[in-house]
Structure 1
Amino acid sequence: MSTQLPAVTVVGSINLDIIATTDRLPTAGETIGGGVLSQQPGGKGANQAVAAARLDGSARMIGAVGDDAQGRLMLEALSSAGVDTSGVAVLDGDATGTALIVVDRDGENQIVVCPGANAAFSLEGVSFGPDETVLCQLEVGLDVVLEAARKAQGFFVLNAAPAMDLPAELLERCNLVIVNETEYELIPALAEAKLVAVTYGKDGSAMFEHGRKVAEAPAAAVTVANTIGAGDAFCAALVLALRSGLDYTSALAVANAVGADAVGDPSSQPNLAQLGSYVERTAAASGVPW
């Protein structure tokens, strides 16, 4: 395995997460009292950039916030985590993206996203180097993601969430697609994709080449505090592990361990150890040196 982690550039959403924690999720038309309110940095793009930086990858963020107090807080949170924010646009007239989230005592959640500035930025003037790994999600405009795929010169990864129909051009450009099991079912075209990582929650994760399972790894048992940032931490870890030279099974195991730590943390942008410590931990658990 290489000792030098590759650069990761994340093109994606930056949100303020407004979270109500309750005993259980409300049903349609139901009001539940006794909630606890909190606010914290979020957005799938920002979560993945922060996770990559904390795992000791050099992360760069491409996205947008509004010219408001929330936007300034999001930029400060990214910078303090070690993320390069020079590519984040501050848009006058657009509010910073906001996610309204309800989380129950088991960590399950309901989320409504108000995109704000995430729906208004472009990649005009943005370029990517030949050794730059680019990671996108679908909380920004599909046109922006497609443009990123066209501009990216190196390894291009799509976390296809939230699920939607994807243009053939975009799928053909992806070196790797990452989804959960529900998203995998909702996007039939992924069965023909070159390489797809699928997460199954407590049942671990697997890798598929053109619809054929080629690797899998079990999940670690963990007490769930919050599932919001776990998938994003998994994405960042898997990309870093693969680009560092780990094989599919080992990379999945490392990403599962990172995701397990994220699930146990109440933050959407959880504190994580360096990637090397997860590599050592999972190698020791398997009994096979990597």
Structure 2
Amino acid sequence: MLSSCSTPPNASLVNALSFSSFTSQAHSNRVKMSSDSHPHLPESRIVVGVGGISVDFLATVAAYPKPDDKIRSTSLKVGGGGNAGNALTCASRLGLNARLITKVADDSQGKGILDELQADGVDTSFMVVSEGGNSPFTYVIVDEQTKTRTCINTPGYPPMIPDELSQSSLSSALDGARIVYSDVRLHETALVIAQEAWTEAPSVPSALVSILLRLPNIKFVIVTLGEDGCIMLERSANEDPQTEEIDVDSLLELLKQQKDDNTAIPTCVSSSVTKLRANKFGTVHGRLIVGTAEKIPPSELVDTTGAGDAFIGAVLYAEKMLPFAAQVAAACCRGLGARTALPHGTDPRLASFLMAAYPKPDDKIRSTSSKALSWNICFLSVENKKSQLSPQVEGGGNAGNALTCASRLGLNARLISNVADDSQGKSTLDEFQADGVDTSFIVVSKGGISPFTYIIVDEKTKTRTGILTPGYPPMIPDDLSRTSLLSAFDGARIVYFDLRFQQTALAVAQEAARRNIPILIDAEKESERLDDLLKLADYVVCSAKFPQQVAKLGANKLGTVNGRLIVGTAEKIPPSELLDTTGAGDAFIGAVLYAICTNMPAEKMLPFAAQVVAGCCRGLGAQSGLPYRTDPRLASFLS
């Protein structure tokens, strides 16, 4: 896979500290609910769900990042997600027997998805597990300040096709089912429904009438409106020609006037069964119901992720439907993520709905609903849901990227850093080793989590926005024995620091200085121990804003130095070739390390580093575009 590289003269070692980040919370223990705790559950309570499933990475940030920002998350929670998965988890916790038809890959994410669903009592025996491919995942950015959540979904591959579910499996899944729920993840189907339902509809109520007219098997339609509650149009099977006809938009306004806006708990207002008219569409017999949402105090509102799925899960349960579903959705919003705060059937907040909801022994009841359609209307600004076009997972971190670059150019690179013994940590080590980086000085902690960075690359503006979640536990000086440190320094030509874990960095830098090994500092931004590290440095590479920041700190103590100023240019990359600037600064440093180790003059070093950076920017991510020593674009510099 890699080109063989000879080691240049006097280039025995580049040694670095790398600290990037990933924080996930440990999978929380769940309070399991047995259906036996509900003595009056209906006998027919099997619900089948078809649709989306995923792993959700919920990163909480102090404020939503701007394009090209690099920020740290304040916390990261990893849990199951996906509309159908969330809704069926909710239904299962409320006491229904939930069966899920969907697809995952046989990767670590797929295994985690299956384990979590099974822990919540969801039947996963009808899920398809593909060999190879990748399971779907969603990165959710939760803004602590505005309480918005922005979702970037990466679909699974390969997608599910009808032939993957045999007729016998389908028949088994539907055996005894009371209702089938679909979140319409197949986009072709979703597009057909959207075009049919919304063509020329001037308002939500008239669109509801249009849906019932165009889809005669639908019993009811619910539109969820976030904090504004919901609207439901229920079809009546008994059509009376003498029933009064009323405009559906006018009826909605009348119902809104009857709402009690002073109560915090969910309520609903219903019309009587009547003939509902929508201009240009026609009339249907039924009733219109307006439901309110719970007014959650700001101090209790944590995250709205999965609120719509919680609503649907409660609708599947279905008695005193709208206020009950609103109460379940409100509970969901009090926890981070789509499933953390989903209530169980034993939750006291649901008691008033469930006391009368379960049929008593020997009761004879009649089903009023066999088919339903539900969808969400969202009016979003920052809070949005997007599908990712081309996901890529690879190693990162300033020092890791710089040393990968140096190794590809032919240096012997040794990396001092730390990871956890999780799947991310193992992948990080494997990738470095494949690129020839010596990982024997990387500390692997038992338990904890490896660092993780999610990078949003905008194809239009070419900006990249990074959200960093630090690893845990952080590296401390005692993690690296003196014997290991001296072994890492053996024969070293230069030591490079990217200022992560500065207590450890300072201890290593002091030892390097005592051994007269040159030190290069990547001064990306101001930090707590930066001044102490800079006093030990022989070389500094910094961002554009850094020199002005340092000058302001000592504005009254500036003087003169003897030296020369050199200006280097960057390659003008054609827009069609510029993919991503992630890691460009790290590539520059990797090239500078090579130049120092090979005694390359400054006049040659800057164009060489710029050429390496240009190669990096032609690939997605920090490492995929890093050139090797044999790259013909570097021949004139290395000859």
TM-score (norm 1): 0.78
Shift of the alpha carbon at 1:275? 7.6
Letter in 2 for 1:109: R
CA distance in 1, matches of 2:553, 2:598: 25
CA distance in 2, matches of 1:190, 1:50: 34
CA distance in 2, matches of 1:265, 1:280: 20
Shift of the alpha carbon at 1:165? 4.9
Mean Cα deviation higher: 215-224 or 248-257: 215-224
| Match of residue 137 from structure 1 | 498
- 1:188 paired with 2:551, answer yes
Matched residue of 1:40: which SS? coil
Matched residue of 2:416: which SS? strand
CA contact (8 A) 1:190 1:211 kept: no
- Map 1:1-290 onto structure 2 (within 5 A): 3-4=8-9, 5-15=11-21, 25=67, 30=382, 31=384, 33-36=386-389, 37-105=391-459, 106-117=461-472, 119-122=474-477, 123-125=480-482, 126-127=485-486, 128-129=489-490, 131-138=492-499, 140-152=500-512, 153=515, 154-188=517-551, 214-222=565-573, 223-270=577-624, 271-274=626-629, 280-282=635-637
Deviation track 1:163-214 (CA, whole Å, cap 9, x = no partner) reads 325444321210111112023333338999xxxxxxxxxxxxxxxx959652
CA distance in 1, matches of 2:567, 2:13: 26
CA contact (8 A) 1:191 1:211 kept: no
Shift of the alpha carbon at 1:78? 0.3
Deviation track 1:60-84 (CA, whole Å, cap 9, x = no partner) reads 1110111101100000000000011
CA contact (8 A) 1:191 1:210 kept: no
Structure with the greater alpha carbon radius of gyration? 2
Letter in 1 for 2:545: T
Using a 3 Å threshold, how does the CA distance of structure 1 residues 114 and 263 change in structure 2: closer, same or farther? same
CA contact (8 A) 1:237 1:258 kept: yes
CA contact (8 A) 2:401 2:587 kept: yes
Deviation track 1:26-58 (CA, whole Å, cap 9, x = no partner) reads 998512523233322111121111111111111
CA distance in 2, matches of 1:250, 1:142: 32
Total equivalences in the alignment = 261
Using a 3 Å threshold, how does the CA distance of structure 1 residues 40 and 276 change in structure 2: closer, same or farther? closer
Shift of the alpha carbon at 1:231? 1.0
Matched residue of 1:113: which SS? strand
Mean Cα deviation higher: 232-241 or 118-127: 118-127
Shift of the alpha carbon at 1:99? 0.8
CA distance in 2, matches of 1:217, 1:55: 21
CA distance in 2, matches of 1:279, 1:272: 8
Shift of the alpha carbon at 1:243? 2.3
CA distance in 1, matches of 2:520, 2:602: 15
CA distance in 2, matches of 1:214, 1:26: 29
Using a 3 Å threshold, how does the CA distance of structure 1 residues 228 and 71 change in structure 2: closer, same or farther? same
| Match of residue 212 from structure 2 | none
Matched residue of 1:225: which SS? coil
Letter in 2 for 1:104: D
Shift of the alpha carbon at 1:129? 3.1
Using a 3 Å threshold, how does the CA distance of structure 1 residues 178 and 93 change in structure 2: closer, same or farther? same
**Structure 2 unpaired stretches of 5+:** 1-6, 23-56, 58-65, 70-142, 149-381
Letter in 1 for 2:467: V
Higher strand proportion (structure 1 or 2):
1
CA distance in 2, matches of 1:33, 1:110: 15
| Alignment RMSD | 3.2
Deviation track 1:130-179 (CA, whole Å, cap 9, x = no partner) reads 643111102x2111121121011311111112432544432121011111
Matched residue of 2:393: which SS? strand
Using a 3 Å threshold, how does the CA distance of structure 1 residues 159 and 187 change in structure 2: closer, same or farther? same
Identity %: 21
CA distance in 2, matches of 1:118, 1:234: 30
Using a 3 Å threshold, how does the CA distance of structure 1 residues 117 and 107 change in structure 2: closer, same or farther? farther
TM-score (norm 2): 0.37
CA distance in 1, matches of 2:405, 2:473: 20
CA contact (8 A) 1:47 1:232 kept: yes
Letter in 2 for 1:135: Y
Letter in 1 for 2:17: V
Letter in 1 for 2:496: L
Matched residue of 1:102: which SS? strand
CA contact (8 A) 1:56 1:275 kept: no
CA distance in 1, matches of 2:620, 2:547: 26
Matched residue of 1:116: which SS? coil
CA contact (8 A) 2:569 2:610 kept: yes
CA contact (8 A) 1:157 1:175 kept: yes
Deviation track 1:6-28 (CA, whole Å, cap 9, x = no partner) reads 41011112557x9xxxxx95998
CA distance in 2, matches of 1:145, 1:187: 20
CA distance in 1, matches of 2:443, 2:509: 19
CA distance in 2, matches of 1:116, 1:72: 14
